[in-house]
Amino acid sequence: DAKTTQPPSMDCAEGRAANLPCNHSTISGNEYVYWYRQIHSQGPQYIIHGLKNNETNEMASLIITEDRKSSTLILPHATLRDTAVYYCIVRVANNAGNMLTFGGGTRLMVKP
Amino acid sequence: DVKVTQSSRYLVKRTGEKVFLECVQDMDHENMFWYRQDPGLGLRLIYFSYDVKMKEKGDIPEGYSVSREKKERFSLILESASTNQTSMYLCASFTGNTIYFGEGSWLTVV
């Protein structure tokens, strides 16, 4: 099963770009990478997902390396409200159906 | 909007009690999941189900069982609650390319 690894914590200055890395070196060709974030005591919130190409939406950009072994979530102008735990998730498809594999998450602290 | 609803937001139970955590989704999803979340350990998969009456063990199934009698409902059962099962429990459902999470159930076992 594809596993993900993320740094446990990061700091970012308000207004600057936050770049959150994720390693998924065992990912296979048809597995998607998802990013979610979780603010304390709430359920995870969807941010973005991708397969091979870079993706952008109103919240963030997702950069996936050509070999797909790692990806980076970019919050272009971090605000204090972006302080949260960010999870990189690989969607694993196996004979038993679909399984969601979570990384340990990165606690992002946006500082004024 | 798709909703994944966890029936109990906060529960306090005694050691040895049987505990049911209910999760309902309203979009006919086949795949449903139960995770627990603990400080420093992230989200760990307990059980998942890919169809009615089907279930698979996740990474930490010990002390838990599940029930999926209807497609929309996935129940997590603690047969005899213990203090080390104090945690936040998250239900999720999945279809196509989208994962939906409930708001979480905070369980304290005393």
Chain A with chain B: Cβ pairs closer than 8 A: 59
Burial state string for B30-57 with b = 16 or more CB within 10 A and e = fewer than 16: ebbbbbbbeeeebbebbbbbbeeeebbe
pLDDT value at residue A27? 86
Query: Which of B31, B44, B104 comes nearest A43 by C-beta?
Result: B104
For chain A, list residues with pLDDT below 50.
95-96
For chain B, what's the residue count? Answer: 110
pLDDT value at residue A104? 78
Could you tell me which chain A residue has the CA closest to the CA of B47?
Answer: A99
Query: Which of A32, A42, A104 comes nearest B97 by C-beta?
Result: A32
Pseudo-torsion of CA A23, B56, A42, B8, nearest 10°?
A: -170
pLDDT value at residue B57? 92
**Is residue A51 helix, strand or coil?**
coil
pLDDT value at residue A95? 47
Cβ distance A62 to A55 under 8 Å?
A: yes
Radius of gyration of chain A (CA): 14
For chain B, list residues with pLDDT below 50.
none
Q: How far, rounded to the nearest angstrom, does the alpha carbon of residue B74 sit from its chain's CA centroid?
A: 7
